[in-house]
A and B are shown apart, each in its own frame.
Chain A
Amino acid sequence: MSLPLTPFIVLLPLAGAAILLLTGKRWPGSSAGVLASTLVGGSFVLSVITLFGLLGRSGSDRLAVTHLWTWIHVGTLTVSVDFRVDPLSIVMAMTVTGVAALIHVYSIDYMQGDPRFPRFFAYLNLFVFFMLTLVLADNFLLLYLGWEGVGLCSYLLIGFWFERRAAAFAAKKAFIVTRIGDSAFLIGIVFIWLKFHSLSFATVFGRAHGLASGTATIIALLLFAGACGKSAQLPLHVWLPDAMEGPTPVSALIHAATMVTAGVYLVVRTHPIFEASGTALTVVAVVGIVTAIYAGFSAIGQDDIKRLLAYSTISQIGFMMFGAGVRAYAAAIFLLVTHAFFKALLFLGAGSVMHALPGDETDMTSMGGLRAAMPITGATWTIAALAMAGIPPFAGFFSKDQVVAAASGAGRYGLWAAALFGALLTAVYISRATFLTFYGKPRFRGHPHEPAFRMRLALVLLAMGAFAGGALGITATNGILAKFLRPVVGSVAEATHGLSELWLAVVSVVVAMVGIGLAAFVYLGKVDWQALRVRFAGPKRLLQRGFYVNDAYNGLLVAPGQAAAAFLAYVFDARVVDGAVNGLGTLFRAAAGAGRRVQTGLVRNYALGVLAGAVGVLVYLAVRF
């Protein structure tokens, strides 16, 4: 039996996008935004109804596939437009539509007065459509459609203010870097078809355990490469910090809450393939934790509030990947959901601050003490920051703790220690950002004020999520979310190693407190942090530039690539390939040129030729006979 509303969850935002793209100019004032928000809100309501439909069934029966039409059918290849509702996808769909609806509402005020106001909402709606397609898809190719579609919307929205060269450049960079991962993903999909002769999830996952482990590793790593691109994991993370050129609600929706976490969703969704390999899971865990630590360090070095949040996102997704890599799938999804709340909240808070300060200020060294002028923004930000740092009872505590603890429970203490270190960095950078922005001495210009009503509303609602979201998973094994996801991701392995859950939590909290204390010591205490910046300019710069990875790519890949292209186009193609063609033409011309010299036009030369010919014939005859 299917759940009849499923297609409409997806179609509502699509309808919004279509209407606004075609008739955008006719929607006066902020009506376009209201329409778009309503439709996404409607999508959320439908998701909730569908959720209840699912809850009305027993645990193993919670799966409904809605077949719409056959998309591609050639020979034994059949790909349909099928939507799948199961616990995992409905959790994702609710997160996406819920956060997206709030961000839509926020954007109505945030984007007020923009000349392309309707188009902005058209793009946002289109994004939600593709994102829902991604999470509700029942086969790899439809997932890929959503996957590429969100990439497109990311491109459109990062470059929304395309008059700014930096925005246009960042948009292109985001699309291209993620497409590198996507191409690997595509190969992975093709490989899956070769092995299973099907792309539908049920068939593939049902038979995944039969894969040879080498093949499984290759397929899993190809999928993971796609996930790395989309989720900005090492080494494909370079696009995300630049993507902050987009409007802030876009950063909140796409580059924090939803699209970038699609990689985590992919890994969790396809975990049977990763499990068939084993090696691939380790790769996921290691890449995740290395990224988390790398981005944590980089975040500490940022002064731009949005870039800091971008690195923070990279780092948090690293944690999610890490969780998936140690088979704590439910915990990874749990972190994904709570992260969606608190990171979206942080971005929207940053947006409020930017709006309040002259010239959309993003430099945190020119802020400080904003809490007084913007109490709601300050309070909600602080809640989100505490959630991210992992202080109970905020949502982030439970989710991150479960991810970290899973490593210990599996007996991988090295990874566990690394994850704790990552958590320490998290606490340090987010506290630093909080103190620099909202606490300490005011360093800002202008007269900041609280944002408009709809922006405040979104902040408060998200803050509630960031505060109370932990209720979804008080414990790793028996949390609401973990139980609900069990039919899809299996039960969480009981901790067989290490400390008990309670002690692990205590260690986590202590680490977070140490991080916050460290930041407080430097930025709130008597230390002159501005002098430290000058004294340690080199290391600071190293962190700020993200260990120069991007510069290395530019120097080692982009520049030689351009040189190679120039060589191929202007030297090889023009001179060698086309040169061969034109050379052939020139050869004939030259031959003719040489040949025509014989034609002197002088009769006596011809006569001489005749004589020479006659003599030649005579000599030939004389020799022959």
Chain B
Amino acid sequence: MRTPISYFLVVSVLLFTVGTVGVLIRKNALLIFMSVELQLNAVNLALVAFSRQLGNLTGQVLAFFSMVVAAAEVVVGLAIIVSLYRKRRSADVDDASLLRG
């Protein structure tokens, strides 16, 4: 018996919502970053679920791509956050507003 796709989607939506709220309310750059990862994984879950539902591998392949890109992103992003932290002694994103017009 196949688990209905709606189960996966509900989990995915929950995950995504948690991620979104995290991005919006967290101040710490590291936590925001983790929340973004949550969002990505929520989308990956949805992709895989749809892939299975439709019997089409494209979604799974896309999920792999997204994971690889996310990994690369983590590398760069973490490096930025670390260097930011070294400069400012804080990972609070509200402190980093140099681009304010």
Contact = CB atoms under 8 A, between A and B. Distances in A.
A and B touch in the complex (CB under 8 A): yes
Interface of A: 595-604, 607-608, 611
A601 B23 contact: no
A622 to B, nearest CB: 16
Given A603-B96, A604-B93, A611 B24 contact: yes
Interface in B23-39: 23-27, 29, 32
Contacts of A602: 93-94, 97, 100
Q: What 6 A-B pairs come out closest when comparing CB atoms?
A: A596-B101, A601-B97, A601-B100, A599-B101, A603-B93, A601-B99
Nearest to B93: A603
A380 B25 CA distance: 112
9 contacts: A595-B101, A598-B101, A600-B97, A601-B98, A601-B101, A602-B97, A604-B23, A604-B25, A607-B23
Nearest to A598: B101
Interface string B1-44: 00000000000000000001001111101001000000000000
A602 to B, nearest CB: 6
A595 B100 CA distance: 11
Interface residues of B, number: 16
Interface of B: 20, 23-27, 29, 32, 93-94, 96-101
A216 to B, nearest CB: 74
Given A599-B100, A601-B101, A604-B94, 15 more contacts: A596-B101, A599-B99, A599-B101, A601-B96, A601-B98, A601-B99, A602-B93, A602-B97, A602-B100, A603-B29, A603-B96, A604-B25, A604-B32, A604-B93, A611-B20
A602 B98 CA distance: 9
A599 to B, nearest CB: 4
A132 to B, nearest CB: 76
B6 to A, nearest CB: 19
Contacts of A603: 29, 32, 93, 96
Contacts, number: 37
B38 to A, nearest CB: 13
A342 B25 CA distance: 107
Contacts of B98: 601
A602 B99 CA distance: 8
A593 to B, nearest CB: 8
A608 B21 CA distance: 10
Contacts of B29: 603
Contacts of B97: 600-602
Contacts of A595: 101
Contacts of A598: 101
Contacts of B99: 599, 601
A608 B24 contact: yes
A270 to B, nearest CB: 75
Nearest to B98: A601
A597 B101 contact: yes
A598 B94 CA distance: 15
A77 B95 CA distance: 81
A451 B94 CA distance: 100
Contacts of A604: 23-27, 32, 93-94
Nearest to B101: A596
A37 B93 CA distance: 97
Contacts of B24: 604, 607-608, 611
A212 B6 CA distance: 103
Nearest to B36: A607
Nearest to B26: A604
Max chain A C-beta neighbours (<10 A), residue from B29, B94, B98: B94
A600 B101 CA distance: 7
Contacts of B32: 603-604, 607
Contacts of B100: 599-602
A595 to B, nearest CB: 8
Contacts of B27: 604
A6 B93 CA distance: 99
B35 to A, nearest CB: 9
A147 B101 CA distance: 68
Nearest to B99: A601
B46 to A, nearest CB: 14
A119 to B, nearest CB: 68
A617 to B, nearest CB: 15
Nearest to A603: B93
Nearest to A594: B101
Max chain A C-beta neighbours (<10 A), residue from B20, B25, B101: B101
A600 B98 CA distance: 9
Max chain A C-beta neighbours (<10 A), residue from B25, B32, B93, B98: B93
A596 to B, nearest CB: 3
Nearest to A607: B23
A449 B29 CA distance: 109
